[in-house]
Amino acid sequence: MEWFAGIGRSTMGMAAGLGRAAYLLFGSLVARPQPLKNFPLTIRQIYVVGVQSLLIIIVSGAFIGMVLALQAYTVLVDYGAEQSLGPMVALSLLRELGPVVTALLFAGRAGSALTAEIGLMKATEQLSSLEMMAVDPLRRVIAPRLWAGIISMPLLALIFSTVGILGGHAVGVDWLGVDSGSYWSVMQAAVDFNDDVMNGVIKSVVFAFVVTWIAVFKGYDAVPTSEGIGQATTQTVVYSSLAVLGLDFVLTALMFGTH
Amino acid sequence: MEDLVSIHNMTFSRGERKIYEDISLRIPKGKTTAIMGPSGIGKTTLLRLIGGQLRPDEGDIRFKGESIPGMTRKRLFEVRREMSMLFQSGALFTEMTVFDNVAFPIREHTTLSEELIRILVLMKLQAVGLRGAAQMMPSELSGGMARRAALARAIALDPELIMYDEPFAGQDPISMGVVVKLIKELNDALNLTSIVVSHDVGEVLSIADYVYVLADKRVVGEGTPEQIKEHESELVQQFLQGKADGPVRFHYPSRSMQEQLLEAN
Amino acid sequence: MNSRKIEILVGLFVALAVAALLMLALKVADKGFSGNGETYELKAKFDNVGGLKERSPVKVGGVVVGRVGSIKLDEDDFTPVVTLVISEEYDQFPTTSSVSILTSGLLGEQYVGLQPGFLLDENDILKPGQFIEDTKSALVLEDLIGQFLFSRNND
């Protein structure tokens, strides 16, 4: 009996959490938008979540492109098909690794920082104090961060993929000796702008939305103590990573599965 | 005398736990009203109820005769511009300078020019003695200075009501003296209505016009500081004199010690 | 950090991302061709298209002049009809041109090779939508092996 009660309790808890998350989203994005007033705040947050994540994105992109080229080359060279290195690297990055790895790194770098920052604002009564000053914290604190995340992550993913393709070029062409012309031309023949580049961007926008939403909600909903904030930060990284990987499967099946 | 805030037969509980049961309070206009009581009694909760951040389960809270729980969100935000709250931690925005913190409510709610805002902010900072610290960040301030900066922000829009949440907690005697002086002066100079929530008996009794003592979910004593000092309730006397044992027991409720020791064998 | 500096850095960040997108569009996906460029269509019937796919390149002497637009089955005679999307720059192919499905390397991708014919008459130029008559089908490995074994048996 206690067991069923446990299931019931956690289901009700989850439903209530989802409701609060939906309310947060509605309150910050849908109701009473003030884009003009929020624009400078959003720029500032793009700096925090986007520009400050740039270094880790560029370094990871370069290394992943290089490793991809190295691994693909050892397999392809057995079949004399090393000119397929270009499309191999480009398609893996554009369709999968660019959006997914960027989202995972973003969750770890920017998402956890967002949760901790908002949680700390809650713990130090800054959110309450905004509310008492008749300023809606959803509009003032949450909305700019949500927008900044949604805008920044697709841009980071584009940079990640590009750097990765250049990293693949560095290893494949400059080190392993694949012909530079065929690296690019076979890639050009295989990659389609709409099917591959834009689908990757769409994936990235979806991930951006989900990861940022989880991050700001976990911060806003955190128990305002040091333990609570620590827990919320961990949950942000775990939940958003799982959400990204799960959604990636669904999106991949929708976009590329029917061909 | 007219009441700015009045609470009528209010009951409030958090989850299963009842915090207030059927309490009534009156906060007269232009006076300093103190609300005292032991820790954990939910004094901060009371301020949040008045600010409309929480809703009572039963009863009513009125601000200038208008029911706060009955307001729409829009109206509540309008009313909040007339009240202001000094949080225990100060709650300064950590990413802004002291100047920007004080300017924040003015910039949010008015369309004054930057030049005018500068003058207003400097005047408010002058009033709390922090004009020289305008360009410092909150992390560089001492606890007492942070609270004074927060006070400057709280009076930035010249509210009618200021609620002080534990303004004396964790302050050294000098900053405590400064805060006491400021609350008194601001109340007289700006004709504010103040609600001070605190358990620092001496300081509160020196500035309050009227005192409520809360304990055990209800009001156990009320009156002017003189009346409170002479109050016949044992609970009030225990609180005022800081006795370790009295109606509030020293021991957390448990079985008798003898029983528990014997049980181990 | 003052807001001017932040604005500049955010601007640089967005510019970097736009540069990345441009590079992906032009250098990686070769948007210049499959997308907005002015094109016209030619058609060709094959007996067998083998592994030819939509978007496979159309080459003349190794130069890409277009891409395969669609591959459909003719409803009357059940032979595959390949639509070739050719760049407007190359609109002077004679009607005597031939197309064949070729493979780049032993296991590489299949593409359409266009062999321009002789220009007999000024008017004998392929017009948009016209069929190219002379086609050679893809080589299918199984057929080749079959022929090879068959010819050995005959020896």
Tally the domains of chain A. Answer: 1
Distance from the Cα of residue B182 to its chain's centroid:
15
Q: Note whether residue A21 is domain-resident.
A: no
Beta carbons of A132 and B81 less than 8 Å apart: no
Predicted local confidence at residue C64, as pLDDT: 80
B171: left (phi over 0), alpha (psi -120 to 50) or beta: beta
Q: Give, in degrees to the nearest 5, the angle at Cα A154 between A149 and A157.
A: 120
Beta carbons of B53 and A135 less than 8 Å apart: no
Q: Note whether residue A136 is domain-resident.
A: yes
What pLDDT, in 10s, does the model give residues B100-116?
999 998 888 888 888 99
Q: What are phi and psi of B196, to 5 degrees?
A: -115, 120
For every one of its 259 residues, what pLDDT tens digit does chain A have, with 9 covering 90 and above? 888 888 888 888 888 888 888 888 888 877 665 666 778 888 999 999 999 999 999 999 999 999 999 999 999 888 878 788 888 899 999 999 999 999 999 999 999 999 999 999 999 889 988 888 888 888 888 989 999 999 999 999 999 999 999 999 999 988 988 888 788 878 887 888 888 899 999 999 999 999 999 999 999 999 989 999 999 999 999 999 999 999 999 999 988 876 5
Contacts of A79 (CB under 8 A, 6+ apart): C107
Token pair, residue B132, equals 């020289």
Chain A positions touching B80 (Cβ under 8 A) are 131-134
A120: amino acid identity, one letter:
L
Beta carbons of A81 and C20 less than 8 Å apart: no
CA distance A112 to chain C (A): 21
Q: Is A83 part of the contact surface with chain C (CB cutoff 8 Å)?
A: yes
Q: Note whether residue A41 is domain-resident.
A: no
Rounded Cα gap, residues B88 and A167, in angstroms: 53
Chain C positions touching A47 (Cβ under 8 A) are 1, 6, 9-10, 13
- Residue ranges making up the domain that contains A71: 50-256
Q: Are B170 and B8 in contact (CB under 8 A)?
A: no
Number of Cβ atoms within 10 Å of the Cβ of A231? 16
Q: Note whether residue A228 is domain-resident.
A: yes
What subunits touch chain B, counting only 3 or more CB pairs under 8 A? A
Predicted local confidence at residue C107, as pLDDT: 64
Q: Chain A interface, mutation test: which of C22, C23, C28, C53, most A Cβ atoms within 10 Å? A: C28
Q: Note whether residue A29 is domain-resident.
A: no
- Residue A197: closest C-alpha in chain C: C24
Predicted local confidence at residue C28, as pLDDT: 79
What pLDDT, in 10s, does the model give residues B135-166?
889 888 888 888 888 988 988 888 888 898 88
Which residue has 């389609």 as its token pair? A192
Q: Which of residues 89-118 of C touch A (CB under 8 A)?
A: 105-109
Q: Note whether residue A39 is domain-resident.
A: no
Predicted local confidence at residue A72, as pLDDT: 92
- Nearest CB partner across the interface for B105, out of A121, A128, A133: A133
Rounded Cα gap, residues B155 and B177, in angstroms: 19
Beta carbons of A134 and B80 less than 8 Å apart: yes
Q: What is the pLDDT averaged over residues C109-115? A: 84
Predicted local confidence at residue A118, as pLDDT: 94
Q: Are C98 and C134 in contact (CB under 8 A)?
A: yes
- Nearest CB partner across the interface for C29, out of A80, A154, A188: A188
Query: Given a cut of 80, is residue C36 above it in pLDDT?
Result: no
Beta carbons of C28 and A188 less than 8 Å apart: yes
Number of Cβ atoms within 10 Å of the Cβ of B19? 22
Q: Is B107 part of the contact surface with chain A (CB cutoff 8 Å)?
A: no
- Quickly state the pLDDT bin for C31 (edges 50, 70, 90): low
Predicted local confidence at residue C3, as pLDDT: 77
Q: Are B172 and B164 in contact (CB under 8 A)?
A: no
Q: Chain A interface, mutation test: which of C1, C4, C9, C24, most A Cβ atoms within 10 Å? A: C24
To the nearest whole percent, how much of chain B has pLDDT over 70? 99
Query: Given a cut of 50, is residue C34 above it in pLDDT?
Result: no
CA distance B62 to chain A (A): 17
Q: Is the ipTM of this complex over 0.90?
A: no
Q: Are B2 and B29 in contact (CB under 8 A)?
A: yes
Q: What is the pLDDT averaged over residues C118-146? A: 80
Comparing CA positions, the residue from B244, B69, B92, C112 lying closest to residue A127 is: B92
Q: What is the pLDDT averaged over residues B59-64? A: 87
Rounded Cα gap, residues B211 and B197, in angstroms: 10
Q: Note whether residue A18 is domain-resident.
A: no
Predicted local confidence at residue C35, as pLDDT: 47
Rounded Cα gap, residues B108 and B119, in angstroms: 16
Beta carbons of A133 and B89 less than 8 Å apart: no
* Three-state helix/strand/coil letters over chain A: CHHHHHHHHHHHHHHHHHHHHHHHHHHHHHCCCCHHHHHHHHHHHHHHHCHHHHHHHHHHHHHHHHHHHHHHHHHHHHHCCHHHHHHHHHHHHHHHHHHHHHHHHHHHHHHHHHHHHHHHHHHCCHHHHHHHCCCCHHHHHHHHHHHHHHHHHHHHHHHHHHHHHHHHHHHHHHHCCCCHHHHHHHHHHHCCHHHHHHHHHHHHHHHHHHHHHHHHHHHHCCCCCHHHHHHHHHHHHHHHHHHHHHHHHHHHHHHHCCC
- Quickly state the pLDDT bin for C57 (edges 50, 70, 90): confident
Q: Note whether residue A182 is domain-resident.
A: yes
Radius of gyration of chain C (CA): 22
What pLDDT, in 10s, does the model give residues C59-96?
888 788 888 888 888 888 888 899 988 888 888 888 88
Number of Cβ atoms within 10 Å of the Cβ of B170? 12
DSSP C27: I
**Average pLDDT over all residues of chain C:** 81
Token pair, residue C49, equals 């298209």
Rounded Cα gap, residues A151 and C10, in angstroms: 11
Q: Is C54 part of the contact surface with chain A (CB cutoff 8 Å)?
A: no
